[in-house]
Structures are given as C-alpha cells and as structure tokens.
Amino acid sequence: MVELDPQRWLTEHGDYLFRYARRRLMSGDLAEDAVQETLLAALKARQGFQGASSERTWLTGILKHKLVDIIRQQAREVTAPGGEGEDDPQDWEALFDDAGHWTHPIRDWKTPETELETSRLRQALQDCVDGLKPNLARIFSLRELTGLPTEEICKELNISATNAWVMLHRAKLFLRECLEIRI
Amino acid sequence: MAIFKCCKETSQLVTLLADRPSSWQDRLAMRIHLLVCINCARFARQMRMIREWLRSEEGGGELSGPARARIAARLNGAAQEPEKL
C-alpha cells in the first residue's frame, strides 16, 4: 500500500489540480486556494481512501466539491444590488434576424493539428472562458466543467430552471462567438 | 408542433439538449433542420468541439513557487496537529 503523504500529493498532483481548478474558476488566486483546501481535506479524510480509484481521481473528486463551494460562495457575494457585469439580452438578439436566421455565416472550425495550433487553442479557450460575464461563468463552470446536474445548480444559485437554461445557452453562444474570432 | 424550426430555435435545442427536457417532436425538427442548414450543422459541430476541448484540456499554468510553499507549510502544520483539522 502506498503511503498517503500530503507533501507528495502536492509534488505529484499540485500542478494538475491547479490547472483543473484554474479552468473552472475566474482567478489564479482562487485556484490556489482550492488546491490548498483540497489537500487539507484529503489529509483529514485519508483514512477513507480505499485505493479503489487512483490517487489523482480521488483528489480531483475532493477538488470538485471545493469548486462548487467556492463558486456558490462567490455567487452570494456578487448578488449584491446592481450586480457586476450582468449580460445584456440585446447582445444576443443581433445574432439572428427577424426570421430567426443567423445574421452571419458560421465558420467551419478545424481541429488543431500542430503543437502550435494546440497551444493557441488552449490559450484561446482559457481567455474566452475567463471572458464570460460572472453570472454566466458560474453556471457554465458548474454545469459543463464540473458536471453538476441542473437541478442542483438551481438550488445552489437559487435560480429557476428557465433562468438556468437561458444563461447556459448564452454562455455557450458567447464562447462560440469568442472562439470564432480567435481560432 | 412545427416541423420546421428556425436557426434561433434550433440553436437553443442544440445547446440545451443535455439540460432542458425536449419532446421527440422538437428533437426530430432539430435533426431535420441540421440536415438542411449548413450554418446550424456547423454550429452544432462547434458546440461538440468546445465541449470536447474543454473536457480534454486543463487550464493553463502551474502552481506558483510562493503558493506551493504556502500550501506545503499549511499541510505540515495540519499534519502535526491533526486535532485542529
């Protein structure tokens, strides 16, 4: 049996956990906090690790719970009056004409083939996810990147299902628009 | 039910396929639209690509030196005083 050593977790999985968290949170600081909280929680719970899954899978599972906690907490902090940077429905109307057709042709994207294209895509993805308005970023992160069921997200963020669908749809439209000009 | 959906409606069916319950009539209408509309077919493919890319790719960067040191120190402290965890 491998000894469960927190310092070794940090060495072997620290960067992986950080990148996983970074993709799902809006700042590097928050991602660092998430890694710390995850390793502390893992230390506390290490008796419970049965070795049924890999260490990394086990740690990632703990991290997912921490991410949900952090995103939920942030959602509370910014639902203050006025809210920052809510998105404007007007932005989305321009995508379609009165008959509901696309106003601009949709490009045919290519899968990256070279190392350079892959690294440019990775950067573009991160920039576009970071560019989401906070309210859209939270729900997109919980649903698409962390895989929480929609019903749970509605409870966590205290929103209706209809509201959740509208925001998820807009988040995806935003990412597409953003990537369309970057890749 | 309308068997012909516009691009706007189709785009919503595509992005919310895994989230919003939809009738088989709506899904059929979406498929028909995707067969005849090049823009929406590309849109649907882009949505699949975004999903795959985001799932397979991690975010960029790595733990900074100071963050790594801070976390290591916290873990050490916690390991030595398990009752405070």
Handedness of CA B55, B60, B65, B71 (dihedral sign): negative
Place of tokens 């920039």: A127
Most confident stretch, A67-81, A95-109, A130-144:
A95-109
pLDDT at A5: 85
Backbone torsions φ then ψ of A102, nearest 5 degrees? -60, 135
To probe the interface with B, which of A172, A178, A179, A181 has the most B CB atoms within 10 Å? A172
**Backbone φ/ψ region at A147: left (φ over 0), alpha (ψ -120 to 50), beta:** left
Backbone torsions φ then ψ of A115, nearest 5 degrees? -55, -40
Closest CB from B12, B58, B75 relative to A7: B75
Angle subtended at Cα A27 by Cα A4 and Cα A80, rounded to the nearest 5 degrees: 115
Structure-model confidence comparison of residues A9 and A84, the more confident one: A9
Interface of A with B in 43-62 (CB under 8 A): 43-44
Contact present, B54 and A144 (Cβ < 8 Å): yes
Kindly state the DSSP code that residue A99 receives in the 8-state scheme. T
pTM: predicted TM-score of the whole model, two decimal places: 0.80
Mean pLDDT (whole number) for A121-130: 88
Residue B20: list chain A partners with CB under 8 A: 161, 165
pLDDT at A83: 43
From CA B15, how far away is CA B50, in angstroms rounded? 11
Closest CB from A28, A44, A122 relative to B85: A44
What is chain A's alpha carbon radius of gyration, rounded to the nearest angstrom? Answer: 19
Question: Which residue, among A52, A58, A20, A22, has the nearest Cα to A39 in the 3D structure?
Answer: A58
Q: Answer yes or no: is pLDDT of A80 > 60.
A: no
The Cα of B16 is separated from the nearest Cα of chain A by a number of Å equal to 7
Q: Answer yes or no: is pLDDT of A96 > 90.
A: yes
From CA A175, how far away is CA A66, in angstroms rounded? 25
Kindly state the DSSP code that residue B57 receives in the 8-state scheme. P
Asked if A23 lies within 8 A of B75 by C-beta distance, the reply is no
Question: Which residue, among A100, A138, A107, has the nearest Cα to B49 in the 3D structure?
Answer: A107
Kindly tell me the burial class for residue B63, based on how many C-beta atoms sit within 10 Å of its own C-beta (0-12, 13-18, 19 or more): buried
pLDDT at B79: 81
pLDDT at B41: 97
From CA A111, how far away is CA A10, in angstroms rounded? 33
Structure-model confidence comparison of residues B84 and A153, the more confident one: A153
pLDDT at A136: 92
Question: Which residue, among B36, B37, B43, has the nearest Cα to B11 in the 3D structure?
Answer: B43
CB neighbourhood size of A49 (10 A)? 15
Confidence of residue A48 (pLDDT cuts 50, 70, 90): confident
Confidence of residue A4 (pLDDT cuts 50, 70, 90): confident
What is chain B's alpha carbon radius of gyration, rounded to the nearest angstrom? Answer: 24
Q: What would the pLDDT profile of B30-79 be if each residue is shown by its tens digit?
A: 999 999 999 999 999 999 999 988 877 666 678 899 999 999 999 988 88
Q: Answer yes or no: is pLDDT of A23 > 90.
A: no
pLDDT at B12: 95
ipTM for this model: 0.81
Kindly tell me the burial class for residue B7, based on how many C-beta atoms sit within 10 Å of its own C-beta (0-12, 13-18, 19 or more): buried
From CA A138, how far away is CA A70, in angstroms rounded? 10
pLDDT at B4: 86
The Cα of B3 is separated from the nearest Cα of chain A by a number of Å equal to 15
Mean pLDDT (whole number) for A144-170: 91
Confidence of residue A81 (pLDDT cuts 50, 70, 90): very low
